[in-house]
Amino acid sequence: MKTIVLDAKNLTKLYNHTKVVDSINLQIEEGEIFGFLGPNGAGKTTTILMALGLTEPTSGEINVFGYNSTREPLKVKKITSYLPENVGYYEDLTAQENLKYITRLNGIPGKKADAKIEEVLKNVGLQDVAQVEVGKYSKGMKQRLGMAAVLVKEPKLAILDEPTTGIDPKGVEEILELIVKMSREQNITVLLSSHLLYQVQKICTKIGIISQGRIVAQGTIEEIGKSLLKEEKEDLLEVKVANKLTPALEESIKQIEGVMGVEKKSPDHSLEEIYIKYFREG
């Protein structure tokens, strides 16, 4: 039995008598990369803010590592890193100074902090621009600085709210790699809120889907897929042919026992594949 990192029980939040979050029950186990999915305004950010104790729930409770987020927010925030949506930094300070401020707020002693800052800046690939003012950073660099800020306080839980919005595919790829890396190497549990399904599918071990304040599905993608889409899908096999597909060949494949049908497809390349290949290697 793994430890439960984040545990929400009947969590409800009302804004002006509308239920933004409606009796949510949510469990995240240690080491998971949990994808928190849902359309804009479904209540993802509100749930996250309640987890950090930045907003008080109307009823129900939420615990992080056994600490109640509403009553012991400092203990929760000590071990939890939060990367907000539209994160911003002090633009007239350098990346190094911004991170220094965060380590100070966390009470990390000076020497240890300096070493840690250097390490995380290297991890996110910003070591060469550490002394440049953040105002001169591109959006992708800022987001990577955000990841550095998440890592610098050595959290046990990282809550990332839309970490990949507004950055280019290469940047997205790098951020996702970082998330997987920190989850594997430092055993940080990750709560990733997003509405970009492709990315979530790529890295998340479990997902929870929220819609209009309610959790409508929770579990691994396979589990949810099975229960939701009910009927078992038939297996698909891709066969590559040497030259052109002749009618005779097609016919002979059809003859094989158990084959339901043959379909011809033109080879398709996704734009993303091309883009990433171009900028990675070129």
The DSSP-derived string for 6-34 is: EEEEEEEEEETTEEEEEEEEEEEETT-EE
275 burial (CB, 10 Å; 0-12 / 13-18 / 19+) is: middle
Nearer to another protein, 188 or 207 (CB): 188
Binding part of the chain for another protein, among 3-11, 26-34, 41-49, 255-263 by CB under 8 A, reads 41-49
| Residue list 152-181, contact with another protein (CB under 8 A) | 153
CA distance 119 to 127: 9
| Nearer of residues 165 and 205 to another protein, judged by Cβ | 165
- Are the C-beta atoms of residues 275 and 169 closer than 8 Å to each other? yes
The answer to whether the CB of 254 falls within 8 A of the CB of 240 is no
Task: State residue 113 phi and psi, 5-degree precision.
Answer: -65, -45
Q: Given candidates 81, 143, 189, 218, which one binds another protein under the rule CB under 8 A?
A: 81
**Using CB under 8 A, which of 34, 67, 82, 137 touches another protein?**
82
Nearer to another protein, 84 or 169 (CB): 84
Residues 6+ apart with CB under 8 A from 117: 96, 99, 100, 103, 130, 148, 152
Stretch that binds another protein, among 52-60, 164-172, 190-198, 209-217 (CB under 8 A): 52-60
Asked if 164 and 127 touch (Cβ cutoff 8 Å), the reply is: no
State yes or no: residue 74 binds another protein (CB under 8 A): yes
Contact 98, 142 (CB under 8 A): no
Contact flag: residue 91 with another protein (CB under 8 A): yes
58 binds another protein (CB under 8 A): no
CA–CA distance, 206 with 209 (Å, rounded to integer): 10
Which C-beta is closer to another protein: that of 28 or that of 149? 149
- Considering only residues 93 through 122, tell me which ones interact with another protein, judged by CB under 8 A: 101-102, 104-107
Single residue of 84, 125, 140, 169 touching another protein by CB under 8 A: 84
- Backbone φ and ψ for 48, nearest 5 degrees, come out as -60, -45
CB of 243 to another protein, least distance (A): 57
> Collapsing DSSP states into helix, strand and coil, what is residue 174?
helix
Comparing CB distances to another protein, the nearer of 143 and 183 is 143
Instruction: Give ∠ CA 4-5-6 in degrees, rounded to 5.
Output: 100
Binding flag, residue 193, another protein (CB under 8 A): no
**Which residue, 28 or 50, has its beta carbon nearer to another protein?**
50
Size of the site for another protein (CB under 8 A): 30
Q: Does 88 bind another protein (CB under 8 A)?
A: yes
Q: Is 140 in the site for another protein (CB under 8 A)?
A: no
Least distance to another protein, CB of residue 241, Å: 53
> 192 has which bridge partners?
35, 160
Nearer to another protein, 91 or 251 (CB): 91
What residues line the site for another protein (CB under 8 A)?
45-46, 49, 52, 54-55, 74-75, 77-78, 80-82, 84-92, 101-102, 104-107, 149, 153
